[in-house]
Homo-oligomer: A and B are copies of this chain.
Amino acid sequence: MEKLNILFFVSFLLFLPLTIFSQKKSVDLIVQNGTVVTMDANRRVIENGAVAVDKDAIVAVGTAAEISQQFKAKQTIDATGKVIIPGLINTHTHLPMVLFRGIADDLDLQEWLTKFIFPAEAKNVTEDFVRVGTRLGLAEMIRGGTTTFCDMYYFEDAIADETFKAGVRGVLGETLIDFPAPDNKTFADAKIYAEKFVKKWQGNALITPAIAPHAPYTVSEEHLIEAKNLADKLDAPLVMHLAEAQSETDFVMKTKGMRSIAYVNKIGFLSERLIAAHVIQATDEELAILKKFNVGIAHNPQSNMKLAAGVAPVPQMLKMDLAVGLGTDGAASNNDLSLWEEMDTAAKLHKLISGDPKVLTAQQAFEMATIRGARALHLEKQIGSLETGKRADIVILDFDSLNQTPFYNVYSHLVYATKASDVRTVIINGKIVMRDKRLLTLDENAIKKDANAYRQKIINSLSK
């Protein structure tokens, strides 16, 4: 008997450590059994991998076996046969303009703006319009696997409110412009609105409020400096169109005697706060200036093509390791919010323009839509890759649709074969916002109904 007791005691001592080590940590969610494309510094791709999420953060990334050994989850999502990627980042859009999708196409920029967009905006853009358009755009973006976007529009406080309610991440810039806008009739009013807006949202888990002077040709030198000072004072990002077209270069050259990037540099506007959209009119020397200030860049290939604006020197930007991401621009000039098409187009466009089919590989295009896009928004410490400590912005893709069959190379398939319709489940900041293609934070039918009501109003307003 005593012998047995001793045996029992010895057994207990032996197994105690094992019991302690096998104590699994409890987490909120594990996405498991899929191919994890981490986009970490080593660009690890983990077959039969898993991502453990607790609250809003990624707590571990590894093989499904490793993760299941260490963690037990309140909820699991099985991703067998699927691919798990960081949420896509749309570095430039004007989200509510989705209500103007296809209202006017195949026109000169000036004709398009002055005959259609400006009149349509003047007659229709209210806070309610902005809310309806934002919800529509958010729903389309979630369906396409976009988890973060950088916006520039009016009534940005309403955009922030809708974005936060839908659980989407955004760098949202209130527009400052030197003519009466739908929300603020003067630059001074817009500055007051912007300051209040930034202070209200700063510190929010999803929303990074920003100041968005429209462009060097629509905002005076004095006002650009005011915008910059306001951003510095508030410690907020600056969002601006920069070096977008030859017409801008000509205008700035004529009024300031130099090209756009040189001009904004000279007036002290550049800093690492800046997220500059387009950057088409840029020499190597000008790119070096942007590099020096760690300016973020949003490349919008489809919009630039459609408006015949030109081609940004992206291969050179990549060579110089600039922080350049991809953007759709507004859906009035694209006409969708799919980053899948932007990746595909970016990779193909720069091969054509450079005459070199090795330029801008599939992997580089996918980097622009994820980790490099995060750098463009100065959020690379929070998002852009699946790594321990980052926010849990995770997208699960079907990878067996006909257009994805057969499958050889994950980056090739992500960029050249995957479509928005292949996105299955979307998680932002640890919260599931789309599960098995069903939106959980937005009412798709109500959104369509509201959008179609605006459609009729917009048509009526333009026929008057």
Residues of A within 8 A of B (CB): 99, 101-103, 105-109, 112, 136, 139-140, 143, 302, 304-308, 310-311, 334-338, 341, 344-345, 347-349, 351-352, 354-358, 360-362, 400, 402-403, 405-409, 412-413, 416-417, 419-421, 444, 447-448, 451-452, 454-455, 458-459
Contact = CB atoms under 8 A, between A and B. Distances in A.
A140 B403 contact: yes
A105 B308 contact: no
A135 to B, nearest CB: 10
Contacts of A421: 419-421
Nearest to A355: B308
Contacts of A143: 402-403
Contacts of A420: 403, 419, 421
B352 A308 contact: yes
A362 B240 CA distance: 30
Contact of A406 (B99, B341, B352, B409): B99
A356 B308 contact: yes
A416 B105 contact: yes
Given A306-B348, A417-B101, A452 B406 contact: yes
A108 to B, nearest CB: 6
Contacts of A360: 106
A139 B416 CA distance: 18
A362 B311 contact: no
List the 8 shortest-distance A-B pairs measured between CB atoms, nearest first.
A406-B455, A421-B421, A305-B348, A102-B412, A335-B416, A305-B352, A106-B361, A140-B402
Given A103-B409, A105-B361, A106-B347, 10 more contacts: A105-B362, A107-B358, A139-B402, A307-B351, A337-B403, A338-B403, A405-B451, A405-B452, A406-B452, A420-B421
